[in-house]
Amino acid sequence: MKTILPGATIGILGGGQLGRMLALSAQQMGYRVIGYTPEHDSPISQVCSKTIVAPFEDHDAIKLFAKECRVATIEFENIPKEAYEAVQEETLISPSVKALYVSQNRLREKTYLQDHGFPIVPFHHVKSTETLDAAIAKLGLPAVLKTSGYGYDGKGQRFLQTAEQAHEAFAELGQSDCILEKHIKFEKEISVIAARGAYGEVRAFGPIENLHRNHILDISSVPARVNWRLAAEAIEMACAVAESLDVNGLLCVEFFIAEHDRLLINEIAPRPHNSGHYSMEACPTSQFEQHIRAITGLPLGKTEPHSAAAMANLLGDLWQNGEPEWSYTLEIPDVHLHLYGKKHARPGRKMGHLTACSRWAEEAQELVLKARDRLCAARIG
């Protein structure tokens, strides 16, 4: 691959906040950015040089988009494979069609990881009530039933404690293609974001310690409270998955830490990730700049944080009584506010995030939680 230098055009498929932050990083480096999204007035459209608004199924429009770009990338996985292949016919893409196809479906993802020797939570394919009963008999209860496709932030999954709940949940999910996962006890969740350059160079962010609320990432912090051996193992495994899928760009690997310090891969995502937002303030190279460097063939940047850091998500619930009073948050030193430009705030919708850097991860967490709690108190008042 010939290095794509600043001044060239990068295309981003998807209009959300990750695309917005990718576009801002690319423009800072001197690239022109075109967005492609089915949504009007999306977060990416507010910062791009140009945005094409059309369905992903419109292959004529998507090919015209691709012809304007030296390289195209994604900011989320729910892009039809046929649309992505149409982009590939006209320009370079990152990640590969294979990486996108594997990661956008839970069954394909877990089957791929299992077949390639990576440790995962035991699962069983469910496509009928009969296979559901067989899966319960094999894995036992409690368990988690998940739709195979198009699930994120807890969408398309149900926690099950009885067979009756399982059948009800399968009906609620439309008796569609699902997986049943064994419910495991885990100590904590961590993630590693591996960056793989065009020439095979690999660097990693993390491990990052993650706390979820209602299946949505709530707080991320670094360094994760894990021993050095486990940290090294997680980084090595994330890089191995990236190499296995021949990823060019970023690949986030989410892990459960189970009993006896066993790492189990939960999910993968071949793009920037919510848990990596801390890097915008804490690292010499943010995850977004690193992705742009990787897909254009530039050298990868340093990822080691210069301090401990934490990130807290801001969900639409904070907007219930109107726009939050941001000055309450920004009065706190070392707290940084990032808003995504979304017009409509809904409960559970990611509207922005806060980051803070400090001497210790616990202290950084206290700062972002204090800042967010001030917003909550102001809304109640």
Q: Could you read off the pLDDT of 351-375 as tens digits, one per residue?
A: 999 999 999 999 999 999 999 999 8
Both 146 and 226 in one domain: the answer is no
**CATH code of 169's domain:** 3.30.1490.20
> Cβ(281)–Cβ(309) under 8 Å?
yes
Q: Which positions ≥6 away from 171 have C-beta within 8 Å?
A: none
Q: Kindly state whether residue 2 falls inside one of the protein's structural domains.
A: no
Both 44 and 153 in one domain: the answer is no
Last residue of a domain, one of 182, 197, 218: 182
**What integer pLDDT is reported at residue 174 of this predicted model?**
83
Residue 29 burial class via C-beta count within 10 angstroms: exposed 0-12, middle 13-18, buried 19 and up: middle
Please state the pTM of the whole predicted model: 0.95
Both 171 and 225 in one domain: the answer is no
Q: Kindly state whether residue 3 falls inside one of the protein's structural domains.
A: no
Q: Kindly state whether residue 116 falls inside one of the protein's structural domains.
A: no
Amino acid 198 reads A
Q: What percent of the chain has pLDDT over 70?
A: 98
The tally of domains found in the chain comes to 3
Partners of 256 in the beta sheet?
189, 264
Q: Both tokens of residue 117?
A: 């020797």
Last residue of a domain, one of 166, 182, 198: 182
Cα–Cα distance measured from residue 105 to residue 246, given in angstroms and rounded to the nearest whole number: 18
Q: Both tokens of residue 311?
A: 């990130």
Both 176 and 241 in one domain: the answer is no
> Does the pLDDT value for residue 381 go beyond 60?
no
Q: Kindly state whether residue 219 falls inside one of the protein's structural domains.
A: yes
Evaluate the CA torsion angle 123, 240, 185, 367 in order and state its sign: negative
Both 52 and 136 in one domain: the answer is no
Q: Kindly state whether residue 225 falls inside one of the protein's structural domains.
A: yes
Q: Which positions ≥6 away from 324 have C-beta within 8 Å?
A: 318, 375, 378, 379
Cα–Cα distance measured from residue 277 to residue 176, given in angstroms and rounded to the nearest whole number: 34
Q: Kindly state whether residue 192 falls inside one of the protein's structural domains.
A: yes
Mean pLDDT check: name the lowest of 79-83, 170-174, 347-351: 170-174
**CATH code of 76's domain:** 3.40.50.20
> Cβ(358)–Cβ(334) under 8 Å?
yes
Cα–Cα distance measured from residue 4 to residue 213, given in angstroms and rounded to the nearest whole number: 40
Cα–Cα distance measured from residue 346 to residue 333, given in angstroms and rounded to the nearest whole number: 29
137-150: per-residue pLDDT in tens?
Answer: 999 999 999 998 76
Cα–Cα distance measured from residue 250 to residue 26, given in angstroms and rounded to the nearest whole number: 15
Both 19 and 146 in one domain: the answer is no
Cα–Cα distance measured from residue 168 to residue 68, given in angstroms and rounded to the nearest whole number: 49
Both 226 and 343 in one domain: the answer is yes
Both 196 and 174 in one domain: the answer is no
160-201: per-residue pLDDT in tens?
Answer: 999 999 999 999 988 779 999 999 989 999 999 999 998 889
Structural domain harbouring 291: 186-380
Cα–Cα distance measured from residue 144 to residue 131, given in angstroms and rounded to the nearest whole number: 15
Q: Are strands 178-182 and 335-339 parallel, antiparallel or unpaired?
A: unpaired
DSSP annotation of 299 reads P
Report in angstroms the alpha-carbon separations of 105 from 87, 142, 228: 20, 23, 32
**CATH code of 325's domain:** 3.30.470.20
Compute the average pLDDT of residues 32-59.
96
Cα–Cα distance measured from residue 291 to residue 43, given in angstroms and rounded to the nearest whole number: 19
Compute the average pLDDT of residues 69-92.
97
Both 126 and 89 in one domain: the answer is no
Q: How many C-beta atoms surround the C-beta of residue 378 within 10 A? A: 16
Cα–Cα distance measured from residue 224 to residue 376, given in angstroms and rounded to the nearest whole number: 27
Both 81 and 152 in one domain: the answer is no
Both 26 and 66 in one domain: the answer is yes
Contacts 24+ apart (CB under 8 A), 208-216: 208/275, 208/276, 208/278, 209/361, 210/254, 210/275, 214/154, 214/348, 215/153, 215/154, 215/155, 215/157, 216/153, 216/154, 216/313, 216/315, 216/348, 216/350
Partners of 315 in the beta sheet?
350
Q: Kindly state whether residue 368 falls inside one of the protein's structural domains.
A: yes
223-281: per-residue pLDDT in tens?
Answer: 999 999 999 999 999 999 999 999 999 999 999 999 999 999 999 999 999 999 999 99
**What integer pLDDT is reported at residue 55 of this predicted model?**
98
Q: Kindly state whether residue 111 falls inside one of the protein's structural domains.
A: no
Both 36 and 77 in one domain: the answer is yes
**What integer pLDDT is reported at residue 298 of this predicted model?**
97
- Reported as type and span, the H/E element at residue 222 is strand 216-222
> Cβ(14)–Cβ(84) under 8 Å?
no
Q: Are strands 202-213 and 216-222 parallel, antiparallel or unpaired?
A: antiparallel
DSSP annotation of 326 reads T
